[in-house]
Amino acid sequence: MLKRFLSLWFPYLITDRQLIRQPALREMPFVFAAPQRGKMIIKASSIPAVSLGIRPGMAAADARALQPDLLVLPDKPGLEEKLLQGLAEWCLRYTPVVALNLPDGLILEISGCPHLWGGEEPYLESITSTLKSKGYHARAAIADTIGCAWGMARYGKSTIIAPANQRQALLALPPVALRLDAQTLDRMDKLGFSRIGQFIDIPTPTLRRRFGEATLIRLGQALGTAHESLEPIIPQEPYVERLPCMEPILTANGIKIALAELLKTICLRLSKEKKGMRKGIFRGHRMDGKIEEISIGTNMPSYNPEHLFRLFSLKIPTIEPDLGIELFEMEALLVEKISETQESFWHSTGNDVTALAELLDKMAGKMGQHTIHRYLPQEQHWPEHSIKVTQSLEDRPSSEWKTDRVRPLHLLTAPEPIEVMVPLPDYPPLNFRYRGETLKIVKADGPERIEQEWWLQSGPPRDYYTVEDESGKRYWLFRLGLYEKGDPEWFLHGFFA
């Protein structure tokens, strides 16, 4: 069967996306740049910038010399792929076979599709004009081969190459339209080949000797004599399962059966894809049009239907069937890959972590996820900020737990003010009053000064003292502020073991 391909080219992909988000930039020249070998190199430039001669590959500093008020935005690596993925999914309405063509295009296999739009011309027109109305500049070309369509979209004048006519179309294009590497292009330039037509008739052995096998393959792919494969995107199907009922369900038992049934099907799919549910929602569509729903979250991705059933079943009593539920729906809102490496992480078997995660899920189901805390160190000195909460069991500390400074075992959530007697500034107190009791300090360590994190908050520093009273109880006290600057306040912040 005759194949037809459409190549889509987005010459201003990233800048177009920026303009969609920030229409105010339309008239302004702006570029995206990323650091490369110590220089900011332009990765993409907008149409006004290109008209000023600012092209990708230039140094941002050189571009600023051309246009002093040039706006330089940081480039996000991987953004093109994300955008193209989205566009490719959108293109699925035109053909079922769409492939990414990084960094700036898409390839659509359109065999047997254009007649639905009334021919290739209206088909191509429909794609480009819809994209344009969305704000993306796009050029497209249709040909028998991917190579030819690619070259025509970027370097050709005509957009639709009649079947078996690619050789004629290629003759006038520059060699770069064949997707050759920079070294070969450079050599062709030196030899004075500026059109494909100038070397297309040279015998194959000579071409191979001069420019290598890759050139011949590319030429063959453009002409249709060599094979080129496509890797079409596979659209993500949402993780939703539905179960309609013959008769409205009223009983908890009926709901349980529906729940188990839906979990079985969704878990089968998840286990095949080696994925697990982190968040799930179970909906019941009632006869009167209202939707009853219960949702769960897990600490670790899970595809174990029994475990998920246990989590959901804790909440079944909150469902009000009223006149009856006629349709059940199960959706996995958050799905994550099941990591295979967790075994070695904890020097224990994967089952152990799974059992723990299931225990925590059970607790979260009864008491709420907010009751479960696991802490990781945070590289900040302010005691309250030195830890952060993590929700996952698999997160590892990004830095070591600090032991160079002594920290109390008990920390009060809010420091409590105390009255102290201090012999000299910067000395630990002689005694302090806490909750109506005067405690005499016998031993003390400190001060350890902790400055405010000025980028987060402002205020005086804290000077911490570790003190021990007569009976051997150990406290963590601090003075907020300095004696030189007015009257500082003292607080009790924690207890040592």
Question: CA 23, CA 29: separation in Å to the nearest integer?
Answer: 13
Of 251 and 371, the one with the shorter C-beta distance to other proteins is 371
Q: How far is CA 49 from CA 18, 22, 55, 259, 475, in A?
A: 14, 16, 8, 58, 64
- Residue 489 C-beta: closest distance to other proteins, Å: 21
Least distance in angstroms from the C-beta of 377 to other proteins: 7
User: How deeply is 323 buried, as exposed, middle or buried, from its count of CB atoms within 10 A (0-12, 13-18, 19+)?
Assistant: exposed
Q: Which stretch binds other proteins (CB under 8 A): 234-242, 307-315, 331-339, 383-391?
A: 383-391
Going across the sheet that includes 105-109, the strands are 97-101, 105-109, 5-9, 139-143
Burial label for 379, CB within 10 Å (0-12, 13-18, 19+), is: exposed
Which range in 56-64, 169-177, 191-199, 389-397 contacts other proteins by CB under 8 A? 389-397
Least Å from the CB of residue 473 to other proteins: 5
Q: How far is the CB of 315 from other proteins (least distance, A)?
A: 17
- Report the residue number, 293 or 448, with the smaller CB distance to other proteins: 448
Q: Is 137 in the site for other proteins (CB under 8 A)?
A: no
Q: Which residue's CB is nearer to other proteins, number 323 or number 355?
A: 355
In contact, 207 and 130? CB cutoff 8 Å:
no
412 binds other proteins (CB under 8 A): yes
Q: Is 468 in the site for other proteins (CB under 8 A)?
A: yes
Residue 426 beta carbon to other proteins: minimum distance, rounded to whole angstroms: 15
Shortest Cβ 318–other proteins spacing (Å): 18
Output the smallest distance, CB 392 to other proteins, in A.
11
Q: Say whether residue 426 binds other proteins (CB under 8 A).
A: no
Is residue 413 part of the contact set for other proteins (CB under 8 A)? yes
DSSP calls for 101-131: ETTTEEEEE-TT-GGGGTSHHHHHHHHHHHH
Burial class (CB in 10 A: 0-12, 13-18, 19+), 361: buried
410 touching other proteins, by CB under 8 A? yes
Select from 352, 419, 426, 451 the one that contacts other proteins (CB under 8 A). Answer: 352
- Does 117 participate in binding other proteins (rule CB under 8 A)? no
How far CA 356 is from CA of 244, 339, 344, 394, in Å, comes to: 35, 16, 16, 12
496 binds other proteins, rule: CB under 8 A: yes
Tokens encoding 89: 């999914």
Piece of the chain touching other proteins by CB under 8 A; list 3-11, 271-279, 310-318, 405-413: 405-413
Among 227, 272, 396, 485, binds other proteins (CB under 8 A): 396
Q: Does 403 bind other proteins (CB under 8 A)?
A: yes
Count of CB atoms situated within 10 Å of the CB of 244: 10
Total Cβ atoms within 10 A of residue 368 = 10
Measured from the CB atom, the residue of 33 and 311 that comes closer to other proteins is 311
- Least distance from other proteins to the Cβ atom of residue 123, Å: 57
Q: Is 164 left (phi over 0), alpha (psi -120 to 50) or beta?
A: left
**Token pair belonging to 178:** 């064949």
Among positions 330-349, residues that touch other proteins (CB under 8 A) are 346-348
377 binds other proteins (CB under 8 A): yes
Of 20, 171, 268, 409, the one binding other proteins (CB under 8 A) is: 409
Contacts of other proteins in 158-217 (CB under 8 A): none
# binding residues, other proteins (CB under 8 A): 55
Instruction: Return the number of the residue (318 or 403) whose C-beta is nearest other proteins.
Output: 403
Q: Note whether 356 binds other proteins by CB under 8 A.
A: yes
Provide the 10 A C-beta neighbour count for residue 136: 20
- Give the separation between CA 3 and CA 107, rounded to whole angstroms: 13
Q: Considering the complex, what minimum distance in angstroms separates the CB of residue 398 from other proteins?
A: 11
Q: Which residue type sits at 47?
A: I
* 470 lies in the binding site for other proteins (CB under 8 A): yes
Residue with Cβ nearer other proteins (327 or 372): 372
Amino acid found at 54: I
Q: Collapse the DSSP code of 399 into the 3-class scheme (helix H, G, I; strand E, B; otherwise coil) and give the result.
A: coil
Tell whether residue 399 is a contact of other proteins (CB under 8 A): no
**Taking the complex as a whole, how short is the minimal distance between the CB of residue 244 and other proteins, in angstroms?**
37
The answer to whether residues 87 and 101 touch, using CB atoms and an 8 Å cutoff, is no
At its nearest, how many Å lie between other proteins and the CB of residue 219?
59
Question: Where are the alpha helices (H) located in 273-331, listed in sequence order?
Answer: 305-313
Least Å from the CB of residue 301 to other proteins = 18
What are the angstrom distances between the C-alpha of 261 and each of 127, 268, 348?
42, 11, 33
406 binds other proteins (CB under 8 A): yes
* Calpha distance 200→216 (Å, rounded): 10
- CA 211 distance to own-chain centroid: 41
CB of 352 to other proteins, least distance (A): 4
Where do contacts with other proteins occur on this chain (CB under 8 A)? 346-348, 351-353, 355-356, 359-360, 362-363, 366-367, 371-377, 383, 386-387, 393, 395-397, 401-403, 406-413, 442-445, 466-468, 470-474, 494-497
